[in-house]
Structures are given as C-alpha cells and as structure tokens.
Amino acid sequence: MAEPLAPYPPAEADLLVSAEEVQAALERIARAVTADLADRNPVVITVMTGGLVFAGQLLPRLRFPLECDYVHVRRYGRGTQGGELQWLAGPHAELTGRSVLLLDDILDEGQTLDAVRKALLERGAREVRIAAFSRKERASPPAVEADYVGVAVPDRFVFGFGMDVDGAFRNLPAVYAMGR
C-alpha cells in the first residue's frame, strides 16, 4: 500500500509571500535587471538547485540577448544547517570580460553566493551582479549583498518557490515557513 501524500503545502506551514507577491517581485527584478544589463549580453548563471524555479520564471521576463549557464554547488544537502561548500558542476561559459548575473533562491548568510561570486571573478568575469529571490532578515549582515532582491523573509526555515524541505516543496508558487 502506498504512503499517503504529504499535505501540499504542509498543514503547519505559515504563508509568508503569496503567489501574487512572488509574481510582482519577479516583475520588479526583471525591470531593474533590464535597466542595468540589457546592453551587455550577460551570462546569467543559476545556482542549482534552489535557483532553478527563480531562473525559470525570471528569464522569460528578460527580453534582451543573454547566455544561460549554471553552477551546482551546495552547503545544505538535505539538512537545515550549512556546511562546507561542495562544487558539483559549472560554470561552463567563457566568462572573460563578460558581465554575469548570478541567480539564487535565497540570500541567508551569503557564504555560498560570495564564494561563487569570487570564483566567477577569478575566471575572468568583468562584473558579477547577484539577484536573490529572497533575503533573510538577520541580525548580522550577509557575507555579500545582492544587487537585486525580490522579497524579504524572516529568519526562519523557509520553503517554496525553489527552496525546499528535505528535498520537497520547491515547486510551491509561494513562500512558506514551518509553524513556530
């Protein structure tokens, strides 16, 4: 007999950012990125796996020439506490002299985004701008700031719109936090 499916979203989840607010944030980011990078033919690099949903919905809103690539790095695995950064893949594009837009689902402590940004600059990128769909409101500042942020979220374990709980719920169209 198959296990019953978990509620979608989990019943104990608190809605933080509605699907409508997600879409409005995507439009704001797209306008700002377009104003800054439309004339530069940037390489847009998505941080896998969390940045996948964000990239998939932002890229069609960027109506100018660009190149897509990705990096696959992780610090969390299936846990909730960050560990050592693991490089699994990418980037693959030639970055020398190019403008890069780095996309990720969340800016928390900023260690992953800072390490990726530094690696891209070491590979010759002229500039690296960071777009994080969400940014945690933390007492201490992150290691790196994002140039574009969609929404602010409290310092809780959040999920949905690319962010997961033990590998699940990335596909939610809104952002949630587990109940207190």
Domain residue limits, the chain: 13-73+85-178
pLDDT along the chain (180 residues), means of 10: 65 92 98 98 95 97 98 67 73 96 96 94 97 96 96 96 92 89
Q: Which residue, among 126, 137, 108, 124, has the nearest Cα to 47 in the 3D structure?
A: 108
Q: pTM here?
A: 0.90
Identify the burial level of 10 via C-beta atoms within 10 angstroms of its C-beta, where 0-12 means exposed, 13-18 middle and 19 or more buried. middle
Which DSSP category does 61 fall into?
G
The CATH fold of domain 13-73+85-178: Rossmann fold (3.40.50)
